Structure 1
Amino acid sequence: MNVIHFSCVAPPETGGIGQSAYEIVARLNKRGVDATLCAPVMKGSKGTRQSGVGYASDQNGVDPGRRDQGAGPSASHITRLPAFIRYGNAAALGGSMHSIMNEADIIHLHYPFFGTAEKVAQYCQWKRKPFVMTFHMDATGGFFLQTLFDMYRLLAQPAILLASRAVFVSSLDYATQSSIASFVRSHPDRVIENPFGVDTERFYPRTDPHESRAFRHAHGIPEQASLVGFVGGMDMAHAFKGIPVLLEAMKALSTDVHALLVGDGNRRVIYEAKARELGVASRCHFVGRLMPEDLGPAYRSMDMLVFPSTNGAEAFGLVAAEAAACGIPVIASNLHGVRTVVLDGETGILTPPGDADALGRAISRLFADANLCRRYGDAALRHAREHFNWDRHVDSLLSVYRSLCVSPS
């Protein structure tokens, strides 16, 4: 079976869509499927087929420059195609795109991919090629970009959805409140809930106290500090991650509470300046991107993770699932999709998006009650192992792929 995936980014570029797509393609190859991930050429590069490129599990939280073996020994493939136009994560792919699709048994689009999604859907309809998609999120932006996004969803998105034989979503909770809500209602048989997975060989509970001490020492974090963590992008594309909310919350917390902030981007200097302005810089440890093998130890050095995203551009929360798999509680914003990863009052605490006071109170509550913190962490671990399984995710994809390969178009 030959399956072609299209994504607006691919490693070593950062971005949650590309990271998830790469993980899926790698695991499909491990199952014996001939799977390829097609993405735009990186700036300054030529179109090429790459084997065994670096993989990072979180958007901007890890350094993707080193190959990760978490998905298994088989090397999946990335084909980079030139783009006629590329702006941010939007790109109109060209090159050998049609010939690549012509060889495929299944086309799998990771959406949004403005500039290419409509071309893929039209080609698959014309050639009667089996076409599925994963709806990751609704893109958001400032007034001008948001206007363009809204126009695209009105004019192009309905046709793309109708061309698809199946639409995978990380949670129905998010999908039913998103721009595809009307499609979910009118075509429930085509919409399949399929949560993303967590690599439990990399993300597991603390077993060696020396690991945590060594990680803290390496990054200048006091061993006895109460440590709250954040993992995520620090660029404009991930401004919704809510770092300013965490920094504001830190101002009201006890001086023995420190924050570990993992990730990088062009807004990091702004956040560091904000920490200095608020007088919390000495307790906020910006460590940049980490190598994949260091992200697990980073989680295990934390007492809890905060996930303070501010709007619906956050659709799932893979970082929150990874932290849960490490047995630590998560305090997250009460957003559709996210609340299926973090269960309020069971695996962590949900707070109103953008509310620094509520976030601070939730952090203080968990640090004041070690038994509650431990109970939430244990429940988070069980929830992650039960619900966020890559093997189950790939099983669901393969079931649909096989049915489409034998069914009439």
Structure 2
Amino acid sequence: MRVLLVHNFYRLAGGEDSVVRDELSMLRANGIETDLFSVDSKDICSPLDQILTGLQVVYSLRARRALSRKIAEFAPDVIHIHNFFPLLSPSILDACRLANVPVVMTLHNFRILCPTGFLYGDARDRERSLRQSCWWTVRKRVYRSSVAATMTLAAMVEFHKWVGTWRQKVDRFIALSPSARDKFIEGGLPANRIIIKPNCVSRAGAFPNVNRQGALFVGRLDEQKGLPTLLQAWKNVDYPLKIVGEGPLADLVLQNTSSSVSYLGKVPREAVKSEMQAAKFLVLPSIGHEMFPVTVLEAFSCGLPVICSDLPSLHGLVEVGFTGLKFRPGDSNSLAEVVRHVVTQPTKLDDYGRNALRVYEEGYTPEANFKRLMDIYNDVLRVRSNPALAGAI
């Protein structure tokens, strides 16, 4: 089997980028002929680049032609799309269709349904785009606080809903959790084409013999990840916290460093694993939908328990009293209370960490992920070879 992965890397590297690299390595390690067609948002440098990119968000002829050339060169049996925004656009699906190659798409976020990406917003509007048009987001400037940028994204979403892109041009969608699958179905995607397959991460390797200490945050420094909640909570917590990552709220983090809070900035992936193997627990204070955070799996692979927001999207991943604890989303007092309580019970945290490692080994290793992914690819090829099976998916 020959598989072509397609991905638009982000300006600030995130979990999706890690998943693509890991799946590429995993497929090759298992003897699957795999190639990567990619672009990088770091190439959007000048104001002119931004304008040209904005003009092609809805449909990019350039990207469609480039992918067509890659398909002709590599001749894949399956094309697996991870992210097309902003440089590739949904136009790449037409390149796949013209070449008659089946498409699998991993739904890392909700951007095909809403410019917010993670259905982030106030409680009244959070899931509004699932039930009606998303033009309401323009007035609220949900994307980069810009009317023009939000309008461009809303145009992309509504145009491709209108022409039936997702119903007609994708053979199989991969949702990362049951709750995410439910949301996509509510948003109009065909239920019989959405398969649940969580992310995976590679094994962390041998653990150093250290006395674990301190809390750790790893992720993009923005509102959606709950940085203000985290920093406010730690004003009432006397326990060391390390913050790893980069993003628009980096200055806010720097302003709140103290004897308890240290900021490490962006660090290499291996260094992140070392920090996870040395910490007592990970904090995930997100306030919006989390699809299936790679950071949690990385923590589990390092035997690190997780204290996270009590979000529906995390219910099947972090189990209270087994692999971690939860607090009310956006409530700094609730987070502080949970942390103050748990740090007085270090042996419980050790138990949670051992459970987390066991959960990882049982379901989120590269071996388990490879089997699930190959089942999806083979099923797509089976249906393509016998269209009569499509209705029985």
Question: Per the shorter chain, which TM-score range?
Answer: 0.7 to 0.9
1:160 aligns with 2:166: yes
C-alpha separation in 1, matches of 2:368 and 2:359: 14
Structure 2 vs 1, CA of residues 83 and 247 (structure 1 numbering), >3 Å: closer, same or farther?
A: closer
Q: Which residue of 1 aligns with 2:130?
A: none
Structure 2 vs 1, CA of residues 146 and 362 (structure 1 numbering), >3 Å: closer, same or farther?
A: farther
Q: Which residue of 2 aligns with 1:34?
A: 33
- The Cα of 1:371 is off from its aligned counterpart by 3.3
C-alpha separation in 2, matches of 1:3 and 1:83: 31
- The Cα of 1:150 is off from its aligned counterpart by 4.5
Q: Which residue of 2 aligns with 1:243?
A: 227
- The Cα of 1:244 is off from its aligned counterpart by 1.6
- The Cα of 1:97 is off from its aligned counterpart by 2.0
The number of equivalent residue pairs is 341
- The Cα of 1:324 is off from its aligned counterpart by 1.9
> In structure 2, the residue corresponding to 1:306 is in which secondary structure?
strand
- The Cα of 1:195 is off from its aligned counterpart by 0.8
C-alpha separation in 2, matches of 1:21 and 1:181: 27
Paired residue type of 2:369: H
1:2 aligns with 2:7: no
1:393 aligns with 2:369: yes
C-alpha separation in 1, matches of 2:336 and 2:84: 34
Using structure 2 for the length normalisation, give the TM-score: 0.77
> In structure 1, the residue corresponding to 2:325 is in which secondary structure?
strand
C-alpha separation in 1, matches of 2:237 and 2:95: 55
Q: What is the aligned counterpart of 2:219 among 232, 235, 255?
A: 232
Contact 1:315-1:336 at 8 Å conserved across structures = no
Contact 1:196-1:390 at 8 Å conserved across structures = no
1:241-390 aligned at under 5 Å gives the runs: 241-254=225-238, 257-273=239-255, 275=256, 281-312=258-289, 314-390=290-366
Long gaps (5+) in structure 1: 46-81, 213-225
How many percent identity over aligned positions? 21
Q: What is the aligned counterpart of 1:138 among 110, 131, 155?
A: 110
Paired residue type of 2:18: Q
Q: Which residue of 2 aligns with 1:70?
A: none
Q: Deviations over 1:338-363 (max 9, x none)?
A: 23221123211122221111111111
- The Cα of 1:305 is off from its aligned counterpart by 0.7
Using structure 1 for the length normalisation, give the TM-score: 0.74
1:171-210 aligned at under 5 Å gives the runs: 171-177=177-183, 179-183=184-188, 187-202=190-205, 206-209=207-210
Q: Deviations over 1:41-70 (max 9, x none)?
A: 56569xxxxxxxxxxxxxxxxxxxxxxxxx
Q: Which residue of 2 aligns with 1:64?
A: none
Contact 1:325-1:380 at 8 Å conserved across structures = yes
Structure 2 vs 1, CA of residues 101 and 293 (structure 1 numbering), >3 Å: closer, same or farther?
A: same
- The Cα of 1:243 is off from its aligned counterpart by 1.5
Structure 2 vs 1, CA of residues 161 and 13 (structure 1 numbering), >3 Å: closer, same or farther?
A: farther
Contact 1:3-1:36 at 8 Å conserved across structures = yes
Long gaps (5+) in structure 2: 117-141, 388-393
Contact 2:276-2:299 at 8 Å conserved across structures = yes
Paired residue type of 1:242: G
- The Cα of 1:207 is off from its aligned counterpart by 4.5
Paired residue type of 2:247: G
Paired residue type of 2:316: T
C-alpha separation in 2, matches of 1:325 and 1:41: 28
C-alpha separation in 1, matches of 2:316 and 2:152: 30
> In structure 1, the residue corresponding to 2:13 is in which secondary structure?
coil
C-alpha separation in 2, matches of 1:34 and 1:83: 35
C-alpha separation in 1, matches of 2:332 and 2:42: 38
Paired residue type of 1:118: P
- The Cα of 1:295 is off from its aligned counterpart by 1.9
1:46-125 aligned at under 5 Å gives the runs: 85-86=52-53, 92=60, 93-94=62-63, 96-102=66-72, 103-111=75-83, 113-114=85-86, 116-125=88-97
